[in-house]
Structure formats: C-alpha cells, structure tokens
Structure 1
Amino acid sequence: MELLAQIPLTVLSSSTLLFVLGVILGSFINVVGLRYSGEGRLFDFTIIGGRSRCSKCQKQLSWYELVPVLSFLIQQGKCRYCEQRLSLQYPLVEIMGGLIMLLPVYFYNYFDLAHKALLGQDIAPYIIIAVIWTFAALAMLLLTIIDWRLQIIPDQINLFLAGLGVAMIYLPAVSFLENYAFIFGGPLSSLANHLLAGLIGLIFFGAIIAISNGKAMGGGDMKLAGALGLLLGYPDIILMIISAFVIGAIWGLYLIASGKSKLKAKVP
C-alpha cells in the first residue's frame, strides 16, 4: 500500500485504463488466433465476427460469459453448460495483452519523457516508438497463438512487423543494448543499421533452412527473423537470435522430459 501511495494518481489511473484495454485486446487476439485457419486474411470478419461458442459443447455463449478474465474466474474455469474445463490460454493471453499495453508507461519512464518535455525537447518521436513496440508485441502475441496451433507464421504478420521496422528507421536511434551501433555517419546510419540487421536475420535462418533441407525450421521463421531484424536493428538482432535458440532449447527439453514431444518433433 505504501508503494501505491507513492505512485502519482494520473499514472495509476492511466495504467489501469491501459491494462483494461489490453485485456480486451487480448481477448480479441485470442479470437483471431483460435479461429484463423491458416489461409486467407487474418482479420476476416466473416469468420472472427461470429458469436463465440464453448469449444467443447458448442453452446453459444452470452455476453456475460465473455468478460475477459472475470468470466473465467467466476465460472471457476469451467463452461456453465457442459462443465468441461476451459483452456488457461483464455485468461493468460488476456492478461498478457494487459501487460503489453503497459509498455507505453514503461517507455515513458525509460526515455525520461517528463524531463525531456520540461527541457522543451520534442518527445513525439519517442511516443511513436512506444506505440510501435506496443503494436509489435501484440502482433507477436497473436503470432505465438497461431504458430502454437498451426505451426505456421502468417506472412501478414511478418509484413506488419517489417513495416514497423521501416518506420523505426526514421525515428531516434534506440537500442535495448543501450549502445546503438552506427554503421555510417549521417542520415544513412539508421537505414544501414536496420537493413544490416534484417539481412543478418534472413541469411542466418536461411542458412539453417538450407543446411537442414527445411527440417530445422521453415520459410516463415526466416521471414520473421528478417522482419524482426528491421524492427530491432543491430546489434539487438544478435541478442534476439541467441535468446530464441536458448528459449527454444529450454522449451524443447521441457516438452521431451514431460513426454509431450519427441526428439525430432517440431517445436513452435
């Protein structure tokens, strides 16, 4: 309680609103990710616009059974009709959406925008960066659901992430590794940096696909690496590649140890 008392009311209220909005977006992302068939448009409202039903008994659900997180808790994680257990994916993705929507608050403090504004500096580019990373994280959340279900990475998401990466070229240089590695001086530096990172992602994953004859990973992974390279820039793309392999290895070992997967099975 003492910690909450030290947080300004405006920050607390805006964070609460952002979290609630994120939970709602997380619920929508769940719908899109679970209804996407792997073909056609991601946001085809003839498919995602229909009424929600229980995945077990197919009973049409009422609005009060679809309130993000709360409905799951009130119903104790069960369908009101067939009483079958509901997937934990529903509340987890909704909560993840809420946490992602708090990224602007994090970046506001990370970039020290209040201080920059007092000094009369232009903070609009940094706000745009925060928005870009929020959209990128939401897109990655949707991608994770689809990849887990269908083991595919839609080109539409890769193109969206690449588009965000192109936008980052025209914004202030920001690196999660603090020291941004400029390739050239002047206006070409950011362009060269992000293009180099995109090429590193494409070439590295493309080489793995070629060496393994497509058994280790697919073309979607290569496109995603290129898109994330454009978005992250260099040297962040190197950290991303290392992290991806470490997390993938840990997850794969867990699946094998728990008997949920075999050694040569694909890991999403």
Structure 2
Amino acid sequence: MFVIFFFLFILGLIVGSFLNVVSLRYSPEKGLFNFHNLSGRSRCLHCGKTLRWHELIPVFSFLIQKGQCRSCGAKLNWQYPLVELASGFVFLLPFYLFGHFTFHFSLFTSVVWISVFLIFLLIWTIDYRLYLIPDGLNIGLGIIGIFWILFSGVYGSDSAFLPPGLSRFGEFQGSFFGSYAGLFGLRQNIWINHFAAALIGISIVGLVILLTKGKGMGMGDLKLLAALGLLYGWPDVLFIFIIGTTVGASASVALMLGSARRWGMKSQIPFGPFLTLAAVLAFFFGEQILRGYFNFFGI
C-alpha cells in the first residue's frame, strides 16, 4: 500500500511540474496546449538560462536552491513548489474516496475527480496571473460534468463507486451538502438537476455582471459557474457561489485594509480561484459547513 501511495504522490509532483509549464507559458494568443509553446526547454524567467535536469526536480530543486536561480540569484516563483505539492496530494484522492486503490469502476471516479482538481489548479494559477479563465478549461469541466451525470445515473445506487455524500441520487443524496440538499428541490431527476444548476449558475453570474457592469465578475466566471453546475448539480452550485463570494469578499476587505499587499497580493483579485476553492471545500466539507452554519444561528 505504501508503494502505491508513494508512486501516486511522485506522479502527482511530476504532473504538477507540467501544470506549472502550461500555466506560466500560457497566453491567450498561443492557446492552452500549444505544442510549439510547451515543447521548448525550461528557462529561468529572469535571466533566460536553460535549466539543467537537476534544476527541474519537483519541489526538491526549489528547496535545494533556496528558492533562487543558480545563475542570476533571482527569487523563484513560489507557484512552482505549491502547485507541485498540491498536485501530489490530488493524486492521493483515491485513498480519501475509497480508503484503498482498486482497478474497477471506482478507478473512473478517481480519474474524474483528479482531473477536476488538476483543472482547478490551472484555473487558480492562470486567473491569478492574467485575470482570465481559458475557455478550454471551462469546457473541459463541463464535459467531465456530463460524463459524471451519466456515470452517477447508472451506478449511483452502488455507494462503492461514488465519493462520500453521493451514494445515490435522491431526495437527500447526490449532493456534497447531504441531507440539506432536500430543502431546495429538483431532486427527482439527475439530468434536470444538473442542467438546471448550470442555468442557475449562468443567471447568477450574469446578473452580477449586469449590475456591476463587468467590474465584479467576467464571462470566464460565468462559464466556470455553469461548468460547476453541470458537475456538482443543484443546490451545490448555489452554495459554491455563496462560499466563493464570502471568501473573495473577505480577501477584498483585507486588500483594502492594506494587509493583503504586505503578503504580496495584487490590487485586484480574480474571482475564479475563489469559486474553485469553494468547490474544493464543498467536495470535502460541504455538509459540515452547512451544519456548522445552521448550528451557529440555532436553526
């Protein structure tokens, strides 16, 4: 078991290193997975020196070099080790989902959610740097969402194949917020539920864009919440929006008070990372978050 655990984590570190290349080399003009753009040798972003193999070992090279370029001494971006470590832990999701790693239908569930979380990492890094979310990432999430609806509809009665809280689709299940989902309706049909969630996501962000004249959110956020609606369903998409907005608003307040700049945050904050963070929190702690909220207010 430890060997599999270790292998998956190392594989995750390697994939995380590739995600760094994709996100840092991405530009709207060249596209997301442009072969010519991604195939070149890695270089220092400051001095342009071509990096050798021992300078490209995920996490360890950053630590050994003390976060500096060996050639020019410039500080390296903390994105490198953080994304690599996050990707490593993402590849351990099967152990969270099933307590073991099995090569049957549960493998599909693992691949789905590993892919989703890796896309989240790309959204975090690209949106933070460029204030945009590539259409390819939102489309990818939407396609995964449709496959997930098909899979959940066929195998939803067998809890061995689905994450905790999604043992079947019904009045109280099929939602990462557990029994609280039954309070919001649309539980009779999984297709209606998830496509309605996508439309509701479009409506919510569309209204925000209209009211703020595009200053609060953008079209990338609208497409992202629509894709999350297809993937998570209703009412999860509503809670994801609320949690993301709450965390994002808190970060904005910190920025206005000046503390965020001290930590190197920008004067503007993209919303995509907060939506995906909320989606991650919903996946792991959805029901606990709502239970804590209702208990706090004595409901």
Instruction: Provide TM-score, normalisation by structure 2.
Output: 0.76
CA distance in 1, matches of 2:30, 2:24: 14
Q: 2:121 aligns with which of 110, 118, 141?
A: 141
Q: Would the alpha carbon gap of residues 59 and 40 (structure 1) be closer, same or farther in structure 2, given more than 3 Å must change? A: closer
2:39 to 42, 45, 49: 49
CA distance in structure 1 between the partners assigned to 2:251 and 2:93 by the alignment:
26
Q: Residues 266 and 85 of structure 1: is their aligned pair in 2 closer, same or farther, counting only changes over 3 Å?
A: closer
Q: Is the 8 A contact 2:251 2:260 kept in 1?
A: no
Partner of 1:4 in structure 2? none
What amino acid is the match of 1:142?
L
* 1:266 matches 2:256: no
Matched AA of 2:243: S
Q: Deviations over 1:26-56 (max 9, x none)?
A: 1100110000012343111100110111111
Residue pair 1:38, 1:150 contacting (<8 A) in 2 also: no
Q: State whether structure 2 residue 186 is matched by structure 1 residue 183.
A: yes
Query: Residue 42 of structure 2 contacts residue 51 of structure 2 at CA under 8 Å; is this kept in 1?
Result: yes
Structure 1 gaps of 5+ residues are 1-9, 118-122
Contact preservation (8 Å) 1:22, 1:97: yes
Q: Equivalents in 1 of 2:254, 2:16: separation in Å?
A: 26
TM-aligned CA deviation for residue 80 of structure 1: 0.9
User: Matches of 1:127 and 1:238 in 2, distance apart?
Assistant: 29
> C-alpha displacement at 1:67, in angstroms?
0.5
**CA separation in 1, counterparts of 2:81 and 2:187?**
46
Please give the alpha-carbon distance, in whole angstroms, between the structure 2 residues aligned to 1:82 and 1:35: 21
SS at match of 1:78: coil
User: Is 1:192 matched up with 2:172?
Assistant: no
The answer on whether the counterparts of 2:13 and 2:87 sit within 8 Å (CA) in structure 1 is yes
Shift of 1:196: 1.3
Cα distance change of structure 1 residues 176 and 34 upon mapping to structure 2, 3 Å threshold: same
Following superposition, the deviation at residue 184 of structure 1 comes to: 5.6
User: CA contact under 8 A between 1:36 and 1:42: conserved in structure 2?
Assistant: yes
Contact 1:54–1:79 under 8 Å retained in 2: yes
Instruction: Tell whether 2:196 aligns with 1:206.
Output: no
Q: How many residues align?
A: 242
Equivalent residues in 2 for 1:245-264 (5 A)?
245-256=245-256, 257-258=258-259, 260=261
Instruction: Give the direction of change, closer, same or farther, for the CA distance of 1:105–1:223 in structure 2 (3 Å limit).
Output: same
Contact 2:95 2:101 in 1 (8 A): no
Cα shift at 1:16: 1.4
Contact 1:154 1:220 in 2 (8 A): yes
Matched with 1:231 is: 231
Aligned-pair distance for 1:131? 1.7
* 1:116-152 Cα shifts (integer Å, max 9, x gaps): x9xxxxx61x432232111011001001111011100
**What is the 5 A alignment of 1:48-197?**
48-109=38-99, 124=105, 126-170=106-150, 171=152, 172=156, 173=169, 174-179=174-179, 181=182, 183=186, 185=188, 189-197=189-197
Q: Once structures 1 and 2 are overlaid, which stretch shifts more, 167-176 or 214-223?
A: 167-176
CA RMSD of aligned residues (A): 2.1
Q: Which amino acid counterpart does residue 207 of structure 2 have in structure 1?
A: A
Paired with 1:139 and 1:259, the residues of 2 have a C-alpha distance of 26
Q: TM-score, normalised by structure 1?
A: 0.84
Secondary structure of the residue that 2:123 maps to in structure 1?
Answer: helix
- Gaps of at least 5 residues in structure 2 are 157-168, 271-299
